[in-house]
Amino acid sequence: MARRPSPAPRLRGRALAAALAGLATLVAGCAAVPSSGPVQSAAAPPGGSGTNCCGLIMSGPRPGMDPVGIVSGFLLASASFAHRNGIAREYLTPGASRSWSPGSAVTIVEPNPAVVEPPRGLEPGNSGTAVRAGRVVATVSSTGLYHPLDGKDSGQVQNFGLVRVKGQWRISILPGSGRVSHQLLLPEGLFNLVYKPQNLYFYAQGSSRVLVPAPVFVPSESSGPKTNDPATMLVRDLLSGPPGWLAAAADSAFPPGTRLREVQVLPGTPGTKTAIVSLTMPPRAVRPARLRAVDAQLVWALTSQSYGDPLIQSVKLKVNGNFWPRSGSAVLGQSDYRQDVPQPAAGNPYFVSQAGGVRVLARTEPGSRAKDIAVPGPVGAGRFPLSQIAVSPDHSRVAGIAGPRSTVYVGNLAAAAAHGAGPSAGEPRPRLSGTSFSTPSWDSTGNLWVAGRMHGQNGIWVVRNGRGTPWLVTPSDRLGRVTALRVAPDGVRVAMIAGKGASTQLLLGALIRTGSAYGLGPVLRLAPNLTAISALTWYDADHLLAVTKSASGGTQLWEVPVNGGIAVKQGGAPQRGIVSVAAAGPRNPLYLGLSTGRLERSAGLREFWSDVTAGRDVAYPG
């Protein structure tokens, strides 16, 4: 089957459209001031101070600009990093320019600055005024971690003080505490143009071959010195180790004492460039297995296509002055380490028939009649009805919920299919008893995870190997009630729905294993534009699919990047009754389970849906 395109370019295109729409608002505001504003569509004049950023021409302040226009122009020009943000500094007084030292962290604001009351230290009237930037909607840490804000957090005040300098307004007081302001403020739409999402990759704790993505944002282009080149920034972030939310669940192959000498990007057309990464390491740490692991982290971080076009196509690793592998011509790319980043389990999807038996759908051509067969044993024969099913990645076991008290059962499909097995072989066994259990989820090592209520408390529970004693997972953050969860193919990340009704949130965390105990690290909020979330699944290693409910009863399917960006709607108007969704990457069809008792199938994202068969609780293995 031909490989279907990744969702990343489409997401990037939609983000670009949203960014341009946001910029139009800000640019319109600039055009309302007496001059034409700092943003133009014409070419930069020869020898002028204009800078081309993302197809926009930025220039310094024009005579007669009012305070709002000055702040608007400053926010736009801040996206030009050339000459230490030279264009943006033209909007500042000399003293403010000296006290402005923006770092790599970013504060993202809505593009609607407005005049407010002057802060203390500024006289009212013509000598001074103040402008408040738009509401803060997100921040990006110095290591590139994106954090959307809402509620009281988003009400942060970003006041600018302005004074007249030779009859023209200039910014004299910048937001931020202290004598020096390190804030880089960017309007929301502009941020989406000048920064791009990328992934860092770290090894799952205790594994030498399973890489876990950690999304970050880096400038789309070099922000001045070579040390601020996007490729260099990614390598530096790799050397810093896993970010806080992943720190206790993942490791880095870079040995202590590793230092970055240089990242040299060889000339080439987009998508064909090679990066030479030069490192120094303690000599005793230079071992083939270690270098192989380091190289895999570098290759995946620099060549990732998860959210758009890759920065680099291939990598040459140089350690202590020597190329690795020893051949100086050796370049390695994703194809050399493709199995290190697990994708959703392949295979045919499973579902529950009208009679209550678990069945598996056979692969058929689009438009042809669906074919399905019963799984072996009692669960396939319908003698032990299950709902909300999950099948292990190796297809050997099935978990589901049955009984009036919502008991979680696990059945052995492999034992039921064994030669000579009797009619009761593989019969499901109870593993958890309680109420309000979510659809179970298997991880890549055969552990079973489920959220629900046991012993009078809400929580997340793990059944080791699907047959051990249930363990309560201890979270780092207060999550509230978790109503759904799905463990990622890497076995480390877990996506969850927490809360209820319109207040539900989509969260991402990392599972921590310490001896025989299990924990859950700090969580990140995903899809800040979604509420009333009712179902989810992993689409691929970097995207989820989620279902939301509207007040009128309609349901909507969304594609959700796990980098913290907004969810993208799939299809047109909401349709009624999506109960479950199943996906296994762009190479496999998508399935919906509807409240009408029917299953629907689509060849891929943004493709037509067609009726398949009667059934419910559709799920791919995992």
What's the whole-number mean pLDDT along residues 57-70?
A: 89
| pLDDT of amino acid 127 | 61
Q: Give me the phi and psi of 580, to 5 degrees please.
A: -140, 155
Residues whose CB falls within 8 Å of the CB of residue 353, separated by 6 or more in sequence, listed in order: 359, 372, 374, 382, 614, 615
- Give the integer Cα–Cα distance in Å for 164 and 100: 19
What's the whole-number mean pLDDT along residues 530-559?
A: 93
What's the whole-number mean pLDDT along residues 104-127?
A: 69
Cα angle vertex 231, ends 230, 236, to 5°?
Answer: 95
Q: CB of 473 within 8 A of CB of 516? A: no
Residues whose CB falls within 8 Å of the CB of residue 569, separated by 6 or more in sequence, listed in order: 556, 557, 558
Residue 52 in this model has a pLDDT that exceeds 70: no
pLDDT in tens, 423-443: 778 899 999 999 999 999 999
What's the whole-number mean pLDDT along residues 173-186?
A: 83
| pLDDT of amino acid 213 | 96
Which candidate, 202, 262, 197, 271, places its Cα nearest to that of 236? 262
Q: CB of 26 within 8 A of CB of 38? A: no
Q: CB of 109 within 8 A of CB of 137? A: yes
Sign of the CA dihedral with 571 first, then 574, 577, and 580 last: positive
**DSSP classification of residue 515:** T
Residue 269 in this model has a pLDDT that exceeds 90: no
Residue 49 in this model has a pLDDT that exceeds 50: no
591-613 as b/e: b if 16+ CB within 10 A: bbbbeeeebbbbeebeeebeebb
Q: CB of 515 within 8 A of CB of 492? A: no
What string of DSSP letters covers 219-251?
ESS--SSGGGSHHHHHHHHHHT-S-TTTTTTEE
| pLDDT of amino acid 153 | 53
What's the whole-number mean pLDDT along residues 459-474?
A: 91
| pLDDT of amino acid 593 | 94
Residue 96 burial (CB count, 10 A): 20
Residue 331 burial (CB count, 10 A): 17
257-273 as b/e: b if 16+ CB within 10 A: ebebeebbbeeeeeeeb
Band of pLDDT at residue 130, cut at 50, 70 and 90: confident
What's the whole-number mean pLDDT along residues 275-285?
A: 95
- Give the integer Cα–Cα distance in Å for 504 and 445: 29
Bridge partners, 471 (sequence order): 462
Share of the chain above pLDDT 90, in %: 51
- Give the integer Cα–Cα distance in Å for 192 and 248: 30
- Give the integer Cα–Cα distance in Å for 64 and 320: 58
- Which carries the bigger pLDDT value, residue 27 or residue 64? 64
Which candidate, 599, 577, 575, places its Cα nearest to that of 589? 599
| C-alpha distances in Å from residue 35, one per residue of 70, 87, 140, 545 | 11, 17, 33, 46
What's the whole-number mean pLDDT along residues 3-23?
A: 43
- Give the integer Cα–Cα distance in Å for 49 and 46: 9
pLDDT, averaged across the chain? 84
Band of pLDDT at residue 44, cut at 50, 70 and 90: very low
What is the chain's Cα-based Rg? 27
Residue 605 in this model has a pLDDT that exceeds 80: yes
Residue 530 in this model has a pLDDT that exceeds 50: yes
Instruction: Work out the burial of residue 475: count CB atoms within 10 Å of its CB; fewer than 13 is exposed, 13-18 middle, 19 or more buried.
Output: buried
Residue 125 in this model has a pLDDT that exceeds 80: no
Band of pLDDT at residue 40, cut at 50, 70 and 90: very low
**DSSP classification of residue 540:** E
Residue 585 in this model has a pLDDT that exceeds 80: yes
| C-alpha distances in Å from residue 347, one per residue of 44, 422, 427, 599 | 55, 26, 23, 17
Which candidate, 218, 182, 181, places its Cα nearest to that of 200? 218
Residue type, 223: S
**Cis, peptide link before residue 344, omega less than 30° from 0:** no
| C-alpha distances in Å from residue 389, one per residue of 3, 429, 434, 502 | 28, 14, 17, 26
Assign residue 346 a region: left if phi > 0, alpha if psi is -120 to 50, beta otherwise? beta
- Give the integer Cα–Cα distance in Å for 261 and 41: 40
Chain centre to alpha carbon of residue 353: 35
Residue 90 burial (CB count, 10 A): 17
Residue 7 in this model has a pLDDT that exceeds 70: no
Band of pLDDT at residue 103, cut at 50, 70 and 90: confident
| pLDDT of amino acid 118 | 57
Residue type, 196: K
- Give the integer Cα–Cα distance in Å for 251 and 202: 6
Residues whose CB falls within 8 Å of the CB of residue 572, separated by 6 or more in sequence, listed in order: none
Task: Tell me the residue length of the chain.
Answer: 622
Residue 42 in this model has a pLDDT that exceeds 50: no
Q: CB of 410 within 8 A of CB of 590? A: no
What string of DSSP letters covers 250-288?
EE-SSPTT-EEEEEEEPP-STT--EEEEEEE--GGG--H
What are the strands, taking DSSP E only, across 320-447? Answer: 322-324, 350-352, 358-361, 372-374, 387-391, 397-402, 407-412, 429-432, 441-442
